């Protein structure tokens, strides 16, 4: 196939290639493993007001750290244009992330633009955002008014001293809980039955730090309508000094919970769902919806690459096909060099068709791919979770 290469603006990444033969979006795109493209995570900033040691350790993300200049960031118009092409290719879910997405100025304007997008069948998208919750009290009403449907708040414990140590900027737990309350008050994540099925809390478990917070967190959110999800601490990026003995396998976590609260396993809510779902049971051992559910995201011990349908767009418009990738594909180069929508859609199509990533699966088989020479694995704060 002959190809046109649009000149690169950023030499750290791979040029996005426009195939000579157009790849017309029809929602049927599949990668090398037959995985569809359904979920796009968009990082809107590489900055954050927290320094969670598993994500942006202070020693690295200090005053000398070079964040991206504003001119490198995709504008809201650029993000919306690219997102609409992903939607044409079959993406149904958009998640805004970062860094801390609520630090991006006027984010509500981007949300309004994304909320107006429709699938080829005319359906609105599932539009959500992951935040550390620190600015939610201030922002919740504006986000909801702009069209945000759901929100996931990260919270690693209820003990104030432990939480302050984990965010490493001395941020109090009460303010995050208040942010969650604000989200509830404006109806973010509320479903038609009045339940907060779209309001989720993510807790990363690091054995040496917040193991003791699992049961208090479960007790706090049980029956609140909010789903708590436990995430295995991942070896993402190259700066967090990850060690396997800090990971609490989800299977052990479920045993810990079961000893306190009876649980029954629930069906996945959607194909490609990252979390395994467990419902709180009643005295008869049956799922009791009024008590709600918990989720476990076992990225380390039970890889879910087999149906990974997620792409990630970095703050500066690089497309990553895996959380553990060392290299992105430069879509910003196309956007800023006058490529047509058809060209960009074809480039996205080709990138996805060639995708073969399955890092966690290979790690589980002790077949971890060798590092890419001269490249570092991307940081979580750069492409979001
Ligand atoms: N700042 C926002 C927040 O914390 O929610 C959004 C970006 S953050 C990178 C997205 C998610 O990634 C958070 O839930 C965070 O806890 C999770 N995360 C970051 N580093 C991680 C790691 N090493 N292992 C597992 N989860 C991680
Ligand atoms: Fe910031 Fe989120 Fe990373 Fe914590 S996990 S440092 S809040 S981006
Ligand atoms: Fe997807 Fe990569 Fe995670 Fe596997 S390791 S589930 S391919 S992001």
If 0-12 CB within 10 Å is exposed, 13-18 middle and 19+ buried, where does residue 34 land?
A: exposed
pLDDT, tens digit, for every residue of 329-384?
Answer: 999 999 999 999 999 999 999 999 999 999 888 888 877 666 666 667 777 777 67
Average pLDDT over residues 145-164: 98
* Confidence at residue 374, expressed as pLDDT on a 0 to 100 scale: 66
Residue 73's nearest CA partner among 109, 98, 48, 40 is 98
Cα(299) to ligand 3 centroid in Å equals 8
Distance between alpha carbon 144 and the CA centroid of its chain, in Å? Answer: 19
* Confidence at residue 332, expressed as pLDDT on a 0 to 100 scale: 98
Q: From the alpha carbon of 304, which atom of ligand 3 is closest?
A: 6
Give the domain extent around 325.
3-383
Rounded to whole angstroms, the Cα distance separating 343 from 31 reads 19
pLDDT at 162 over 50: yes
pLDDT at 272 over 90: no
pLDDT, tens digit, for every residue of 214-261?
Answer: 999 999 999 999 999 999 999 887 787 788 899 999 999 999 999 999
**Residues 277/267, Cβ–Cβ less than 8 Å:** yes
Rounded to whole angstroms, the Cα distance separating 339 from 345 reads 10
* Confidence at residue 7, expressed as pLDDT on a 0 to 100 scale: 40
Residue to mutate, 39, 358, 384, ligand 3, most ligand atoms under 8 Å from C-beta? 358
* Confidence at residue 385, expressed as pLDDT on a 0 to 100 scale: 67
Q: Which residues line ligand 2 (CB under 6 A)?
A: 48, 50-52, 55-56, 98-100, 132, 154, 381
Distance between alpha carbon 211 and the CA centroid of its chain, in Å? Answer: 23
**Residues 46/315, Cβ–Cβ less than 8 Å:** yes
If 0-12 CB within 10 Å is exposed, 13-18 middle and 19+ buried, where does residue 301 land?
A: middle
In degrees and rounded to multiples of 5, residue 366 shows phi and psi of 60, 35
The ligand minimizing its distance to the Cα of 166 is 2
Instruction: Please name the residue that has the structure tokens 């966690």.
Output: 360
Q: Which residues line ligand 3 (CB under 6 A)?
A: 303-305, 308, 310, 322-324, 357-360
Q: How confident is the model at residue 1 (pLDDT cuts 50, 70, 90)?
A: very low
Tokens of 147: 């069209």
Cα(341) to ligand 1 centroid in Å equals 32
Element (H, E) at 151: strand 151-154
Indicate if ligand 1 lies below 6 Å from the C-beta of 55: yes
Number of C-beta neighbours around residue 191 at 10 A: 14
In degrees and rounded to multiples of 5, residue 306 shows phi and psi of -55, -35
Q: How confident is the model at residue 5 (pLDDT cuts 50, 70, 90)?
A: very low
* Domain count of the fold of the chain: 1
- Dump the DSSP string for 62-94: STT--PPPGGGSPPHHHHHHHHHHHHHTT--EE
Assign residue 248 the CATH number of its domain.
Answer: 3.20.20.70
Cα(360) to ligand 3 centroid in Å equals 6
* Confidence at residue 235, expressed as pLDDT on a 0 to 100 scale: 85
pLDDT, tens digit, for every residue of 189-207?
Answer: 998 888 888 999 999 999 9
Distance between alpha carbon 268 and the CA centroid of its chain, in Å? Answer: 18
The ligand minimizing its distance to the Cα of 130 is 1
Residue 302's nearest CA partner among 353, 264, 253 is 253
Residue to mutate, 42, 199, 315, 380, ligand 1, most ligand atoms under 8 Å from C-beta? 380
């Amino acid at each position: 196939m002959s190809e046109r290469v649009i000149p690169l603006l950023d030499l750290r990444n791979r040029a996005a290639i426009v195939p000579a033969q157009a790849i017309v979006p029809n929602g049927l795109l599949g990668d090398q493993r037959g995985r569809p493209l359904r979920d796009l995570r968009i990082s809107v900033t590489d900055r954050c007001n927290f320094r969670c040691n598993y994500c942006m350790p202070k020693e690295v993300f200090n005053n000398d750290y070079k964040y991206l200049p504003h001119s490198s960031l995709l504008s809201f118009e650029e993000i919306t244009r690219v997102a609409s092409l992903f939607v044409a290719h079959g993406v149904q879910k958009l998640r805004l992330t970062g860094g801390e997405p609520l630090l991006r100025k006027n984010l509500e304007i981007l949300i309004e633009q994304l909320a107006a997008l429709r699938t080829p069948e005319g359906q609105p998208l599932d539009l959500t955002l992951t935040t550390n919750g620190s600015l939610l009290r201030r922002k919740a009403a504006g986000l909801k008014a702009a069209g945000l449907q759901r929100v996931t708040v990260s919270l690693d414990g209820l003990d104030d001293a432990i939480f302050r140590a984990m965010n490493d900027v001395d941020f109090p737990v009460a303010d995050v809980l208040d942010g969650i309350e604000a989200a509830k008050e404006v109806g973010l994540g509320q479903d038609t039955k009045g339940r907060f099925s779209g309001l989720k809390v993510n807790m990363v478990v690091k054995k040496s730090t917040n193991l003791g917070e699992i049961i208090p967190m479960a007790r706090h959110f049980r029956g609140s309508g909010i789903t708590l999800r436990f995430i295995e601490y991942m070896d993402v990026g190259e700066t967090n000094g990850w060690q396997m003995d800090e990971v609490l396998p989800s299977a052990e976590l479920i045993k810990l919970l079961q000893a306190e609260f009876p649980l029954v396993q629930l069906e996945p809510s959607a194909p490609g769902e990252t979390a395994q779902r467990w419902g709180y049971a009643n005295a008869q051992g049956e799922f009791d919806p009024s008590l709600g559910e918990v989720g476990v995201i076992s990225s380390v011990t039970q890889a879910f690459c087999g149906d990974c349908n997620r792409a990630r767009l970095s703050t500066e418009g690089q497309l990553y096909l895996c959380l553990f990738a060392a290299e992105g594909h430069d879509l910003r180069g196309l956007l800023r060099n006058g490529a047509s929508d058809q060209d960009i859609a074809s480039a996205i199509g080709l990138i996805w068709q060639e995708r073969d990533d399955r890092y966690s699966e290979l790690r589980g088989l002790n077949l971890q791919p060798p590092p890419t020479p001269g490249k570092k694995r991307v940081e979580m704060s750069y492409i979001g979770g």
